[in-house]
Amino acid sequence: MSDLIPRIGLAIEAYKGRQQDIIGLGHRAYKDLFAHANAAMLTAVVKDLILRAYAEIVTPNAPRTSLLAAVSQQHGEILAGCRVLTQDDGILTALIEAANGATTEALQLIYTDKPQDSEISATAPRVRKSASGSTPTKKRVRTPKKADGPKSQE
pTM (predicted TM-score): 0.67
Q: Is 23 exposed, middle or buried (0-12, 13-18, 19+ CB in 10 A)?
A: exposed
Instruction: Give the list of residues 6+ apart from residue 102 with CB closer than 8 angstroms, or none.
Output: 46, 47, 50, 51, 54
Using CA atoms, how far apart are residues 6 and 78, in angstroms rounded to an integer? 11
Identity of the amino acid at 125: P
Mean pLDDT, residues 8-14? 93
In a domain, 131, yes or no: no
Using CA atoms, how far apart are residues 151 and 134, in angstroms rounded to an integer? 49
The sign of the dihedral angle between the CA atoms of 30, 35, 38, 43 is negative
Query: Can you give the residue range of the structural domain that contains 23?
Result: 4-115
In a domain, 52, yes or no: yes
In a domain, 125, yes or no: no
Mean pLDDT, residues 64-70? 90
| 118-128 confidence digits (pLDDT tens) | 455 555 555 55
The confidence score (pLDDT) of residue 128 equals 56
Tell me how far CA of residue 88 lies from CA of 19, 47, 72, 95, in angstroms.
13, 18, 24, 11
The lowest-confidence range among 60-69, 93-102, 124-133 is 124-133
Q: What is the DSSP letter of 140?
A: P
In a domain, 149, yes or no: no
Question: What domain count does the chain have?
Answer: 1
| 24-63 confidence digits (pLDDT tens) | 887 777 888 888 999 999 999 999 999 999 988 888 788 8
In a domain, 140, yes or no: no
In a domain, 95, yes or no: yes
Buried b (16+ CB within 10 A) or exposed e, 63-75: eeeebeebbeebb
Do 34 and 48 contact (CB within 8 A), yes or no? no
Number of C-beta neighbours around residue 22 at 10 A: 16
Identity of the amino acid at 8: I
In a domain, 134, yes or no: no
